[in-house]
Structure 1
Amino acid sequence: MTEQLTSENGRTVLRMERALRHPAEKVWRALTEPSELAAWFPAAVELDLQLSGRITFAFEGEEDSDSGVIRAYDPPRLLEFTWGEEIQRWELIPTADGCLLTLTATYDDRPGSASFTAGWTLCLDALNEALGGSPVPRAHYALLHEYFVRTYGLDAGEVLTDGSLRFERQLTAPKEQVWPALHGLVAEGIEAGPARTAVEPTELSFEWQHGVVTWRLRDGNGGARLVLTQSGPAAQYLAPWREVIEELAAGLAAQTSAG
């Protein structure tokens, strides 16, 4: 795979490449014509194909739509637009047997990068198939997501300046499914004390011998976004908490992919 995750000016940059056995002009139509976008793009798109033209994105079953502006337009080579706060840049370079497609996405939600990459991987597979290419066998989205979490190191926690600990982890199951699994989860070396909060399905906290452990859940991209914090001395608990969270994530991904 060609996926690369970097940072630029404080923002996250995801770059993906695909060598396609189709001429650039044919792929350009699939990138810009709503009737062709419908075969592979994750949202319904309406766009005014000119520099500074408006572009809108609507998801099935949702009343509200997102919007953006075309920032660069050079057919059949370059299309760049905003999608909310995200910037997407689609580039085509002719090759001897087709063209090279490059997607560069710039955004702020680094913990969501595995979800974005897994989703775009499946979309680009669908694009290739819609153009007449062969289907690409892939793992289920949830398992593909977990692969990119490990590839990008998104399973790592951090020790904050005050000495406390924090993990932020995108999961592949909704928070209502994650919530019951949080009860009783304790890292090695942590002695769980009295509960502090239990607000289903968004917050669960308890005291431990040197502070407070708090689980928080909210809606994320493709599932719940989990944030774990632990006050008090924390550095020695990074590895134990990572093990707990990754075991939880793996179990949820297995359930999701089997469902």
Structure 2
Amino acid sequence: MSAELRRIDGRPVLRFERLLRHSPAKVWRAVTEPAELKHWFPAEVEIDGKAMRFAFPDSASDGEVLELDPPRVFAFRWNTDVLRFELLPHDEGCLLVFTHVLGAEHSAGRTAAGWDTCLAALEARLADRPFEQPTAWLGPMERYVRRFGLDEGRVDGRDVRFVRDLVWKPLDEVWELFTGGAAGLPARAANPHVPPGPVTAVEPPRLLEFDSPTGRVRWEFRHDPEQGTTVELTHTVEDPAFVPTALAAWHVHLERFFAATFGETDRPWPAERVAELTERYGS
């Protein structure tokens, strides 16, 4: 079952359900004991009373137990996020309801894809069978991004704006991909519907701004050690009638740029999809 994205008290929340054909006691051990968590959880977990620590090969972060009601509910904070595991009785074993309160909505696509893999690894551990980590992440992330509407642009006055997740890519790598190491305006900064013009500002590896006959375009790249890397694109459109086309063009442009960060640099420009999106944004 795919993840759902909801908003609770103004915060984005991912929700997963899994029917596990094992006793609640066995599942409880798998979701609460560090020796079991290491087989499927994305970080190495240490628990000392209410204090928690999550370790990766090159970083670590802290958390705390928020709720512990064996064998029913285990909830904890991980950085600014809150994770909650609830086990509900079921005739065939137990129903796991897992929710993840996110610190930033833009990360929901990659986080949902990641948890799908982790929960599959949990099921394999419970069944005592091997699990092979997937190597293809782009497709699952793209599907969730579309499903959750995280690829949609918005309009604020004359500004067309997009914010897209770039996962954890270092800014220097993103900038190199974006510019190709070339001086001046890189080809990836413009597209067939937004022709290039003079560069008005550049601050590697975070900012590029240029004028186009359609209006000023601003690319901003940011990295947060807890939330990952993002790109925010703002296009101040000169002609209001051009807004649906600008939204469609940048929608597709950013899809292609996201794919390029995963090595897919040869996707052709999909004119039919731009036309379809232009109609949708204009309706």
TM-score range, shorter chain: 0.7 to 0.9
In structure 2, give the amino acid aligned to 1:77: R
Deviation by residue 1:197-243 (Cα, 9 ceiling, x = unmatched): 33333222211235421112233689742111112446231111111
Distance 1:173 1:104 in 2: 22
Comparing both chains, which one has the higher relative contact order based on Cα–Cα distances under 8 Å and sequence gaps of 6 or more?
A: 1
Q: How many angstroms does 1:165 deviate by?
A: 1.5
> Percent identical across equivalent pairs?
35
Deviations 1:163-221 (A, max 9, x none): 21111111357244433443213244423211123333322221123542111223368
Match of 2:88 among 72, 90, 93: 93
* TM-score scaled by length of structure 2: 0.79
Q: Give the 3-state SS of the residue equivalent to 1:246 in structure 2.
A: helix
Deviates more, 1:103-112 or 1:195-204: 195-204
Q: 1:168 aligns with which of 156, 163, 167?
A: 163
For residue 165 of structure 2, what is the amino acid of its counterpart?
A: Q
TM, length-normalised to structure 1 = 0.86
Listed as ranges, the matches of 1:127-166 within 5 Å are 127-132=122-127, 135=131, 140-160=136-156, 162-166=157-161
CA separation in 1, counterparts of 2:133 and 2:47?
31
Establish whether residue 7 from structure 1 lines up as the match of residue 11 from structure 2.
no
- Aligned match of 2:261: 252
Alpha-carbon contact 1:76-1:92 (below 8 Å) kept: yes
Equivalent of residue 60 in structure 1, options 54, 57, 61:
57
Taking the aligned partners of 1:133 and 1:94, their CA distance within structure 2 comes to 22
- Say whether 1:240 aligns with 2:249: yes
Equivalent position of 2:18 in the other structure? 18
**In structure 2, C-alpha distance between the alignment counterparts of 1:10 and 1:100, rounded to whole Å:** 27
Distance in 2 of aligned mates of 1:48 and 1:41: 18
Tell me which residue corresponds to 2:235. 230
Matched residue SS, 2:147: helix
Whole-angstrom distance in 2 between the partners of 1:199 and 1:59: 31
User: Are the structure 2 counterparts of residues 222 and 68 from structure 1 closer, same or farther at C-alpha, using a change threshold of 3 Å?
Assistant: closer
Separation in 1, partners of 2:132, 2:54: 26
Q: CA RMSD of the aligned region, Å? A: 2.5
List runs of 5+ in structure 1 lacking aligned partners: none
